């Protein structure tokens, strides 16, 4: 077969390969974007449900969410943070008074120190449009809430 006998160039395989590469690249970018957008969604939803229960003055439900135990009434002695103390802290006589609104500002993982990995997520919440935010800690495994011992700034 000589040089002049070569088959005619068919651009179809090259175009198919190029389209496939573009589709894979766009898909990977979309997957990464979705991951970073929704990676803390379960923790944000837990905090949101907690504050919605407080806004509806359903403190028993809020206490169940706080302790990640909806059936807490069957064993209230199990918790060191009692319902009465919870009601004093989060009820109308609490730090924020009657909680009527909230906004989740951001969620982030605490900085890792050494080889330790965090067991929870920090969720920053604005309560009653107060300029001082409430920083909540949400355990990854069971979605139990705590007041966060760490300070976090929103990085959005």
Asked whether residue 28 is assigned to any structural domain, the reply reads: no
Quote the mean pLDDT of the chain.
89
Who contacts 150 (Cβ-Cβ below 8 Å, separation ≥6)?
Answer: 110, 122, 135, 137
Q: What is the pTM of this model?
A: 0.80
What's the domain count of the chain? 1
> Which residues contact residue 106 at a Cβ distance below 8 angstroms, ignoring those fewer than 6 apart?
123, 124, 152, 154, 155, 156
The answer to whether position 49 is within a domain reads yes
Q: Give the percent of the chain with pLDDT over 90.
A: 70
For 60, the domain range is 41-147
Flag whether 6 is in a domain. no
Helix segments in 56-151, DSSP class H: 59-66, 83-90
Write the DSSP symbol of residue 6.
Answer: P
pLDDT (tens digit per residue) in 84-100: 999 999 999 998 899 99
* Residue 108 region by backbone torsions, left for phi larger than 0, else alpha for psi between -120 and 50, else beta: beta
- 36-62 average pLDDT score: 95
Contact 86, 66 (CB under 8 A): yes
CA distances 80 to 7, 61, 95, 129, Å, are 82, 17, 20, 30
Give the separation between CA 51 and CA 100, rounded to whole angstroms. Answer: 9
> Does any domain span residue 108?
yes
Please report the pLDDT score of residue 152 as a whole number. Answer: 65
Residue 68 lies in a domain: yes
Lowest average pLDDT, out of 13-17, 84-88, 146-150, goes to: 146-150
């Amino acid at each position: 077969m000589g040089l002049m006998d070569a088959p005619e160039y068919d651009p179809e395989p090259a175009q198919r390969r190029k389209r496939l590469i573009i589709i894979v690249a766009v898909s990977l970018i979309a997957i990464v974007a979705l991951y970073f957008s929704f990676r803390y969604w379960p923790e944000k939803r837990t905090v949101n449900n907690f504050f919605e229960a407080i806004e509806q003055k359903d403190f028993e439900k809020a206490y169940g969410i706080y302790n990640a135990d909806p059936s807490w009434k069957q064993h209230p002695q199990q918790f060191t943070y009692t319902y009465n103390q919870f009601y004093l802290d989060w009820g109308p006589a609490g730090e924020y008074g009657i909680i009527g609104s909230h906004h989740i500002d951001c969620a982030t993982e605490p900085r890792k120190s050494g080889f330790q990995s965090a067991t929870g997520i920090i969720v920053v919440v604005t309560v009653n449009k107060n300029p001082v935010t409430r920083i909540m800690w949400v355990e990854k495994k069971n979605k139990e809430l705590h007041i966060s011992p760490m300070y976090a700034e929103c990085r959005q």
